[in-house]
Chains A and B, each alone.
Chain A
Amino acid sequence: MTTICATLYEHLTSHPDLANFKLEFSPDQEGFEDIDFFCDVNDAKKSAELVVFRKTYFKVFKEAHALFERYILNVDKRDQLTWDDYLMTIGYLLTTSENKMIINIHEECVLRLLLQKKDPAQLMKMELLVIERLLTCTRNSVNKSSSLWIWYRKLFILCRNFKNLDKEKLMIQLISTIRTSACLHPSNYYCWTTSRWIFDNMYDTKHKEQLYEMTLEFSLSHPNDCSSWSALCYMICQSRLRLAYNTQDYERLYQRYTSSNIGITPKSNHTEVLHLTIDIPKFTDKITHYVDTLAIKDWPVFLCLSKVTSTYGGTSVPAYLQTWSEQISEFERNHGSIEFTNRNPIIPKDRSTDLTLSNSIIHYGWKKRVVESMM
């Protein structure tokens, strides 16, 4: 019988209609000794914060671990998964989300429950809520968990089969989950890898565009986020490159689900892969303007621009390269040649105390690297 794992689940599935729910972790606090979870709901802002204290975290793990010990000892009864087993996995997903055996048990529990429940769509809704709230929690080990992000892709596949689920809301929530997780964890590798996967497997152009726009907006506000810029570059170049890996991966995962394990015949993916029409010259102008205006000194931006130019470029040299070449020449006339170590621009020691100049050296250094590689 679970107690704290059950309470955790109740909290994670509470206030399902709130747009902003933040799962946070906190050291033990004076005055909260008798409280396991602190939940603060702000109806006006449509937001909630669920705080898990350090002692609570250990309590959850201890209970989940005890249940796990019981589970693995009952070898003969391993196929008889119960609701307590599901709650055990929830406790583990909070505390040690990379336990590979647990994520398998979790999937098996969900599939079994889908067959048992009178309203499987409601179960899917709650499961999505739990996983999204874990992926957007403040604990890095959870919000970057490769197992959780793969499970989220599988939920994307499964959700297509339930008519009672609001697909529009699902898509909004999905894009929001990616964004929130990315905000909490800079350069979140598995989050943005999943964004590419979702992008390639989106049901319709409208949501594909929304995901792209979110990625663009996020990247512009986070110039040093190498993962978001890499994902943005991928989305833009897909219209030309048409890499099929992610759509094939969807088919591979989808084939795991049959009417015998989810109760209904699952839908395959769309037969025709959708591609966005992106105005590449406009995009290039936008990014070069962004680079010039803000004196960007983060390589991920330049790498994205290089790749897009290389993918779509024709035989003529893009105008921005010529402009940058002139800017670099002028800068070096005034401040000396920009030097590199391992292709990274170097700030000379005698300039290191001048922050403005140091930043400019990096900014023009990256420009020089792009120009020299492409002209």
Chain B
Amino acid sequence: MSELQLLKEKHIQYIKSLDSKTNDLEYWLSEHLRLNGVYWGLTALCILKSKDTFTKDDVIGFVMSCWDPKHSGFGPFPRHDSHLLSTLSAIQILATYDSLDSLNTDGKLEKCVEFITGNQQADGSFQGDRFGEIDTRFSYTALNALSILGKLTPKIVDPAVEYILKCYNFDGGFGLCPGAESHAAQAFTCLGALKIVNRLDALTPSQIEETGWWLCERQLPEGGLNGRPSKLPDVCYSWWVLSSLSIIGKLDWINFDSLRKFILEAQDNVKGGIADRPDNEVDVYHTIFGLAGLSLMGFYELDPIDPTYCMPTSVTKTFKQYPY
């Protein structure tokens, strides 16, 4: 174990290099995830206490260039249509830079709120955009974004909570919609959403206990976490599972040392970055979630991460707590 180290400097250089590869086709293949990628990269740098690696004004300029004037909200790249996922990433980035006032021009704040709330359905669920895909991921995304903006209301929150509760399953997990298979990512989005709106008490102690068991079952003998029974471990579940356990006060139900080993073994020792599992190709998505998992476990003096928002606690402590 002593030979495994967190390669902080290499990860910083890896993240820094991501935006320089504009001649690579792979760079454009991920265009539809760009704003999400910036949020992942920035948050990873914050955890590594290297926030200034990105130039603040450049990043804010890019975020604002992703504003969708036709539908309001933010797309993942300039001139792309808006979606809840990229809108949340935009808001998270602006909040991290203490620059939410960038939304104060041309009524963008109100229009953004309207875009988010306009995607709520009659049953309290949220679609991602006009395509109509419903998923508890979008419930979390919407409530998170509105929370950062200080714009949650009972009209939005109460039906959203009702819908999320219907997604709780027999085995203690949560699905993407009522009756859907339990999945660790959905556990995070449902618990995170309830936590954001201060409604974890909508779950009974027995339900929370069962959820805790479902989550800690995700740890495999080799230490990594999977997202569902019989699946392979994946570094990103270091976040989805750990943060969920942290939200319900059961973070210590996981063996930290063996998980740490799994995450560290998934690093690329040459170019930096973290992969889904050892010996695979790295990407910024698994890099942030591997680092976030290590931060939650308290290793390597990383900047503390908020398990509910997946943002630095130094930022989230400024958010208005609902109910206002």
Contacts and interface: CB of A to CB of B under 8 A. Distances in A.
Interface string A65-109: 100000011000000000000000000000110111111100100
A173 interface: no
B106 interface: no
Contacts of A150: 131-133
Interface string A135-155: 000000000001100100000
Interface in B154-211: 166, 170-171, 175-183
Interface stretch (A28-36, A245-253, A280-288): A245-253
Given A62-B25, A193-B180, A243-B179, A253 B132 contact: yes
Contact of A100 (B129, B176, B181, B231): B129
Given A101-B75, A193-B176, A298 B135 contact: no
Interface string B222-254: 000000111100000000000000000000010
Interface stretch (B53-61, B76-84, B264-272): B76-84
B134 interface: yes
A299 interface: yes
Contacts of B132: 150, 252-253, 256
Contacts of B31: 65, 96, 99
Nearest to B230: A224
Contacts of B131: 100, 103-104, 107, 147, 150
A148 B283 CA distance: 24
A187 B178 contact: no
A342 B219 contact: yes
Query: What does DSSP make chain A's interface, helix, strand, loop or mixed?
Result: helix
Contact of A300 (B80, B83, B170, B230): B230
A212 B135 CA distance: 24
Given A58-B25, A245-B177, A342-B217, A146 B228 contact: no
B37 interface: no
A99 B133 contact: no
Nearest to B175: A193
Interface in A338-359: 342-344, 346
A65 B176 CA distance: 31
A303 B25 contact: no
- Tell me the dominant secondary structure on chain B's binding face: loop
A281 to B, nearest CB: 20
A303 B29 contact: no
Interface in A145-204: 146-147, 150, 187, 189, 192-193, 196
A249 B133 CA distance: 10
B149 interface: no
Given A95-B29, A96-B29, A147 B133 contact: yes
B321 interface: no
Contacts of B253: 342
Interface string A226-240: 110011001000000
Interface residues of B, number: 46
Contacts of A224: 230
A328 to B, nearest CB: 20
A364 interface: no
Nearest to B76: A100
B114 to A, nearest CB: 19
B130 interface: yes
A61 B28 contact: yes
B101 interface: no
Contacts of B85: 100
A104 B79 CA distance: 14
25 contacts: A61-B25, A61-B28, A73-B79, A96-B30, A96-B31, A99-B31, A99-B32, A100-B76, A100-B131, A101-B32, A101-B75, A103-B131, A104-B81, A104-B129, A150-B132, A187-B230, A189-B228, A192-B181, A193-B181, A248-B123, A249-B134, A298-B229, A299-B229, A306-B170, A342-B219
Interface of A: 58, 61-62, 65, 72-73, 95-96, 98-104, 107, 146-147, 150, 187, 189, 192-193, 196, 224-227, 230-231, 234, 243, 245-246, 248-249, 252-253, 256, 298-300, 303, 306-307, 310, 342-344, 346
Query: Which 9 pairs across A and B sit closest by C-beta, in order of nearness?
Result: A230-B181, A99-B32, A224-B230, A245-B178, A342-B216, A72-B79, A101-B81, A299-B229, A243-B179
